[in-house]
């Protein structure tokens, strides 16, 4: 399915669910459907998370609370009363990937968050090794495997999305991490020509092992709550972000500088929805006249965006962008936890 078709599919789904992911309060969904949409240069793939899926995932947070009370391993809680530093930076631990022409942004951004956490965990025990040496030891989760099981999870008796490049929601991405896990990319490489193929049996076995051993959990952050986002980042937890893409995001200026300004929503076209990984913040960055910015890892390869620590592929957005719930619809922190005996059912 092309990017434009993904967008139209998302609009239909959004209309059915009445979830305002791709429409602002100032632009009715019916009006957007008749816009002359600009064809995107890159693939996106974000679909809105359904209320049902979000509620299922919230039950996991209740389980974690019970486990903490019982003295068992659980999702690492945020230190809510901790002072939020003026800046944080996990971008040195990221490895930029390229989703190519596949609408797998939720899988790519999820894999990025998990990789950063695994790198940070290894740094805690391997004090003698450099960051580059640690990064070389950590493998990215198989994005193609993860995207396959996202679409399998979305499918039912009346809809089969396995053979479609349908995109997926962040809730779907989180559900797969909890229930299937994912093998390392070496078990099922990111060859988009194989995205409809069932992963090999060995990949399933390694996915279960990773799920049991990786200590990864997630927790939704209320949309617009930039203070909790900053708190999460400062405590070493990347944040998955789902946002509306306006055509300025696809401009040459953004591609060359990595700076994403606030879009002019009255004049710009909506291209779709995208999921990325927030990895840092800076209260003192006043670029564009805005007070504070977040640093974000994209999944469009190393020929796009700004270079950080010798690697292109990042961008920054004003705090105001994340605080605006018409632009940023979902935020999920990714943390270390023990999930071997926790499974989320549909």
Q: pLDDT digits over 50-90, tens only?
A: 888 877 776 666 666 666 666 666 666 677 667 899 999 99
Output the pLDDT for position 33.
Answer: 38
Distances (CA, A) of 294 to 74, 98, 114, 284, 288: 28, 21, 19, 11, 13
Tokens 């580059």, residue located: 132
**How far is it, in rounded angstroms, from Cα 199 to Cα 184?**
12
In the DSSP assignment, the letter for residue 26 is: T
Contact 46, 10 (CB under 8 A): yes
**How far is it, in rounded angstroms, from Cα 153 to Cα 176?**
8
203-213 pLDDT tens trace: 999 998 887 66
The answer to which of 23-27, 91-95, 126-130, 286-290 has the lowest mean pLDDT is: 23-27
Sequence-distant (≥ 6) Cβ neighbours of residue 74 within 8 angstroms: 63, 64, 65, 67, 68, 217, 337, 338
Q: What is the residue extent of each domain of the chain?
A: 51-69+81-335
**How far is it, in rounded angstroms, from Cα 236 to Cα 231?**
9
**How far is it, in rounded angstroms, from Cα 57 to Cα 55?**
5
228-252 pLDDT tens trace: 999 999 999 999 999 999 999 999 9
Q: Taking 70 as the threshold, does the pLDDT of residue 3 lie above it?
A: no
**How far is it, in rounded angstroms, from Cα 322 to Cα 318?**
7
Contact 242, 220 (CB under 8 A): no
Q: What is the pTM of this model?
A: 0.84
Output the pLDDT for position 89.
Answer: 97
121-154 pLDDT tens trace: 888 888 888 999 999 999 999 999 999 999 999 9
**How far is it, in rounded angstroms, from Cα 82 to Cα 311?**
32
DSSP string, 138-175: PPPB-HHHHHHHHHHHH--SS---TTS---EEHHHHHH
Output the pLDDT for position 339.
Answer: 35
Which tokens sit at 271? 């291209």
CATH number of the structural domain 51-69+81-335 = 3.90.70.10
* 58 vs 294, higher pLDDT: 294
Q: How many C-beta atoms surround the C-beta of residue 62 within 10 A? A: 9
């Amino acid at each position: 399915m092309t990017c434009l078709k993904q967008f139209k599919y998302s609009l239909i789904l959004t209309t059915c669910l009445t979830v305002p992911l791709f429409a602002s309060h100032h632009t009715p969904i019916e009006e957007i459907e008749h816009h002359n949409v600009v064809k995107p240069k890159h693939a996106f793939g974000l679909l809105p998370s359904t209320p049902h899926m979000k509620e299922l995932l919230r039950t996991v947070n209740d389980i974690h609370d019970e486990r903490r009370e019982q003295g068992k391993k659980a999702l690492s809680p945020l230190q809510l009363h901790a002072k939020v530093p003026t800046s944080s930076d996990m971008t040195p631990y990221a490895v930029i990937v390229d989703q190519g022409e596949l609408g797998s942004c939720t899988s790519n951004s999820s894999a990025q968050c998990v990789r950063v956490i695994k790198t940070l965990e290894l740094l805690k025990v391997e004090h003698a090794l450099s960051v580059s040496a640690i990064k070389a030891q950590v493998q990215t989760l198989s994005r193609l495997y993860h995207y396959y099981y996202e679409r399998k999870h979305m499918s039912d008796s009346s809809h089969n999305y396995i053979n479609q490049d349908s995109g997926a929601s962040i809730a779907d991405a989180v559900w797969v991490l909890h229930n299937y896990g994912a093998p390392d990319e070496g078990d099922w490489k990111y060859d988009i020509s194989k995205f409809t193929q069932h992963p090999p049996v060995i990949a399933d076995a390694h996915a279960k092992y990773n799920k049991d051993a990786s200590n990864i959990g997630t927790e939704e952050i209320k949309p617009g709550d930039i203070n909790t986002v900053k708190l999460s980042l400062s405590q070493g937890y990347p944040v998955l972000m789902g946002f509306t893409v306006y055509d300025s995001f696809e401009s040459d200026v953004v591609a060359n500088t990595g700076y994403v300004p606030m879009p002019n929503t009255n004049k710009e076209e909506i291209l779709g929805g995208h999921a990325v990984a927030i990895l840092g913040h800076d209260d003192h960055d006043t670029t564009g006249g805005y007070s504070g910015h977040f640093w974000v890892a994209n999944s469009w390869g190393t020929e796009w965006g700004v270079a950080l620590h010798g690697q292109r592929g990042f961008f920054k957005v004003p705090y105001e962008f994340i605080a605006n719930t018409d632009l940023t619809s979902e935020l999920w922190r990714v943390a270390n936890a023990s999930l071997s005996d926790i499974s989320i059912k549909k």
